A and B are shown apart, each in its own frame.
Chain A
Amino acid sequence: MKRLLLAAAAVMAVSATAGAQDLTGAGSSFAAPIYNSWAQVYAAKAGVKVNYQSVGSGAGINQISEQTVDFGATDGPMTDAQMAKAKGGAILHIPTVIGAVSMSYNLPGVPATTHLKFTGPVLADIYLGKITKWNDPQIAALNPGVNLPNHGIIVVHRSDASGTSYIVTDYFSNVSEAWKNGPGKGTAIAWPVGLGAKGNEGVAGQVRQIEGALGYVELAYVLTNHMTYSLLQNKDGNWIAPSLEGATEAAAGTAAHLPANTDFRISIVNAPGAKAYPISSFTWILLYKHQANAEKGKKLVNFLRWAMQDGDPQARALEYATLPKNMKQMVLKRLAEVTY
């Protein structure tokens, strides 16, 4: 229903914006649905048409660096080396929404109402191939009373390079030295063990079918498809179920400790906060601090400001976690620093 309304808004947007100057953006496919939704609603409201191409984070970074788009979008922050190569000067990272990843498993003997508990180090060891059985003492210790089978853990991961893999490996690197010094973090990984499946639907499909499988799936996909999920222990020691609120809490907990001049290239995995969900991450929009084309630059900043202030309903409709209030204030302040 909500999608229908959005589609209707898009139709109105087209008629309202004939002749309007376009803003173009490209990058993250994870964030594409929300950027497109914002673009549609904003076009109807402000008459500015925003054209977003879902080409992947890597391509988004390349395109903003080459100045072929007005803004880029990425699920992993740019490196210093990448920032230095950008042709239009200093680049700002603007967090827009938050993604979270949940761990899903297939154990027919464990009732659906029992959510298995994992800590970060145990998960990292499973993905490193150090823990191979479901009844391993380390898993059993976290799940007293659960009848864990003597069955191999079939690890499932993404085969396509993806922001979801980036968030998970960022988390593993944060909680496990062995992971950090081994596979490391990135959108494409040399996975020590497991099956690679394409897309969230691919991983979800394998987990559903293979008994004993464990995989990571984007939260929005888990919520809409009612998949099994596990509880994770966060930094404060609490057991947290994956949720949009938990992801927002992770950002709030991190933002509370941020210096005012942060460049927002920050990770919010394993964040502090009583209710913070540990496998969460920002997705960013990239724009130049100095906008060479003042008219376009102002339109872009206005669009982003609008998204910060009025964009939450669209984000929630599409199952994205929204930025916490303290974070939004910081982002709005940063947007005010753009020069023309």
Chain B
Amino acid sequence: MGGVAVGDRIYRGVTTLAGLAIVALLLYIAVEVFTGGWPVFRKFGLGFLTSSAWDPVHDVYGAAPAIFGTLVSSAIALVIATPLAVGTAVFLSELAPRWLGQPIAFLVDLLAAIPSVVYGLWGIFVLEPMMRDSIAPFLQNTLHLGGLPIFDGVSYGPGMLAAGIILAIMILPYISAVTREVLMAVPRSQREAAFALGATRWEMIRDAVIPGAKSGIVGGIVLGLGRALGETMAVTMVIGNAPTISASLFASGYTMASIIANEFAEAAGLHISALLAIGATLLAVTLVVNVLARWLVARVGVRYT
């Protein structure tokens, strides 16, 4: 008896320590990044977050275009990926025959295993020419959307929309996998009850399955969003890397993660502080987005208790 109690206590101690270590590590990283970026926050104040100037030669730094680019490219990714991913998950869990569903599920999961630099290369050699020669002309000339500010101007290939599309493909497997799991967790009785009430298959999915899985689906979207905000390499390769804020999605942009990856190796002095300040800002933005998303998940609520 005594031996078990001691073992329990050790086990409790070890797991508590492991849990606290994660918290301590996160706090330590946050503190290091904020103190490293402090000289820039002190020098530019809030202007760092609102200014568009990014000039390492003259030591003038503003993060607005990078914050804008991170949020916009992630938003594009969510808009494209969410319906596709949820649609895929519904098909796989509700409609697909087993022989078809399993290979498709496997292939979708495989998308998550492709290194981001490979996505980037695909972006440069396949997506960018497609943007330039097919997607942009289609949007502007066939759909006559060129008058909208977001589809204004010439597309050379790289730009905000290309980055958003790449990100959409990258986060799709995360959203889809989580959604599939929660859809499958909806009790079978729920579906049978809907059928018993005379619902068609579509009505059953819409009214009996998806509402119950809503909070889980939102959770999956949040997971994908987190990945989109922090994705670096693939985005850097296709976004055009210009620290400008443009309404047009065909224009070049920049993201916070890209600036850090591009410039950290050669940075010195205040430039390093500026990059750490970008890192701190990215941390803060990610935190805010996550808190908002969790609040959203809590509001959506769980239907089955």
**Residue A197 lies at the interface, judged by CB distance under 8 Å to chain B:** yes
**Residue A62 lies at the interface, judged by CB distance under 8 Å to chain B:** yes
Given A195-B156, A196-B241, A209-B129: A190 and B55 within 8 A (CB)? yes
B44 to chain A, nearest CB (A): 15
**Residue B180 lies at the interface, judged by CB distance under 8 Å to chain A:** no
**Of A37-45, A156-164, A219-227, A256-264, the one with at least 4 CB within 8 A of chain B:** A156-164
Pick from A62, A184, A202: contact of B57, CB under 8 Å = A184
A191 to B129, CA, bound (A): 24
A57 to B265, CA, bound (A): 7
A47 to B105, CA, bound (A): 56
Q: Interface readout for A185-213 with B: 1 if CB under 8 Å, 0 if not?
A: 11111110011111000100110011001
**Residue A59 lies at the interface, judged by CB distance under 8 Å to chain B:** yes
**Residue B192 lies at the interface, judged by CB distance under 8 Å to chain A:** no
**Residue B128 lies at the interface, judged by CB distance under 8 Å to chain A:** yes
Is there an interface contact between B156 and A160, defined as CB atoms closer than 8 Å?
no
Is there an interface contact between A183 and B132, defined as CB atoms closer than 8 Å?
no
**Residue B124 lies at the interface, judged by CB distance under 8 Å to chain A:** yes
B277 to chain A, nearest CB (A): 15
Instruction: Give every chain B residue within 8 A of A186 (Cβ-Cβ).
Output: 56-57
Is there an interface contact between A198 and B262, defined as CB atoms closer than 8 Å?
yes
Closest to B233 in A: A198
**CB neighbors of A among B232-275 (8 A):** 236-237, 240-243, 252, 258, 261-268, 271-272
Given A195-B242, A198-B236, A209-B129: A161 and B266 within 8 A (CB)? yes
Q: Interface readout for A99-123 with B: 1 if CB under 8 Å, 0 if not?
A: 0000000000000000000000000
Is there an interface contact between A57 and B236, defined as CB atoms closer than 8 Å?
no
Instruction: Give every chain A residue within 8 A of B264 (Cβ-Cβ).
Output: 56, 161
Is there an interface contact between B129 and A159, defined as CB atoms closer than 8 Å?
no
Is there an interface contact between B262 and A210, defined as CB atoms closer than 8 Å?
no
**Residue A61 lies at the interface, judged by CB distance under 8 Å to chain B:** yes
Is there an interface contact between B266 and A159, defined as CB atoms closer than 8 Å?
no
Instruction: Give every chain A residue within 8 A of B157 (Cβ-Cβ).
Output: 206, 209-210
Instruction: Give every chain B residue within 8 A of A61 (Cβ-Cβ).
Output: 268
**Residue B158 lies at the interface, judged by CB distance under 8 Å to chain A:** yes
Is there an interface contact between A188 and B263, defined as CB atoms closer than 8 Å?
yes
Pick from B132, B154, B237: contact of A202, CB under 8 Å = B237
Is there an interface contact between A185 and B268, defined as CB atoms closer than 8 Å?
no
B73 to chain A, nearest CB (A): 15
Is there an interface contact between B266 and A57, defined as CB atoms closer than 8 Å?
yes
**Residue B125 lies at the interface, judged by CB distance under 8 Å to chain A:** yes
Q: Interface readout for A57-80 with B: 1 if CB under 8 Å, 0 if not?
A: 111011000000000000000000
A203 to B236, CA, bound (A): 12
Instruction: Give every chain B residue within 8 A of A57 (Cβ-Cβ).
Output: 266
Closest to A62 in B: B268
**Residue B58 lies at the interface, judged by CB distance under 8 Å to chain A:** yes
Is there an interface contact between B265 and A29, defined as CB atoms closer than 8 Å?
yes
Given A62-B268, A206-B158: A195 and B240 within 8 A (CB)? yes
A280 to B54, CA, bound (A): 27
Q: Interface readout for A153-174 with B: 1 if CB under 8 Å, 0 if not?
A: 0100001111100000100000
**Residue B223 lies at the interface, judged by CB distance under 8 Å to chain A:** no
Is there an interface contact between A189 and B56, defined as CB atoms closer than 8 Å?
yes
Given A159-B262, A161-B262, A185-B57: A198 and B237 within 8 A (CB)? yes
Instruction: Give every chain A residue within 8 A of B252 (Cβ-Cβ).
Output: 195-196
**Residue A55 lies at the interface, judged by CB distance under 8 Å to chain B:** yes
**Residue A309 lies at the interface, judged by CB distance under 8 Å to chain B:** no
**Residue B53 lies at the interface, judged by CB distance under 8 Å to chain A:** yes
**Residue A82 lies at the interface, judged by CB distance under 8 Å to chain B:** yes
Given A154-B156, A210-B157: A188 and B271 within 8 A (CB)? yes
Closest to B159 in A: A195
Is there an interface contact between A190 and B56, defined as CB atoms closer than 8 Å?
yes
Is there an interface contact between A188 and B156, defined as CB atoms closer than 8 Å?
no
B230 to chain A, nearest CB (A): 17
Is there an interface contact between A197 and B241, defined as CB atoms closer than 8 Å?
yes
Instruction: Give every chain B residue within 8 A of A189 (Cβ-Cβ).
Output: 55-57
A161 to B262, CA, bound (A): 6
A202 to B128, CA, bound (A): 13
Supply 11 A–B pairs (Cβ within 8 Å), ascending by A: A58-B267, A59-B266, A61-B268, A159-B236, A160-B261, A185-B57, A190-B53, A190-B56, A194-B242, A196-B241, A206-B124
Known A161-B265, A194-B242, A198-B241; further 12 A-B contacts with Cβ < 8 A: A58-B265, A59-B265, A159-B258, A160-B265, A161-B263, A161-B266, A161-B267, A189-B56, A190-B54, A190-B60, A197-B241, A210-B157
Q: Which residues of B contact A (CB under 8 A)?
A: 53-58, 60, 124-125, 128-129, 132, 154, 156-158, 236-237, 240-243, 252, 258, 261-268, 271-272
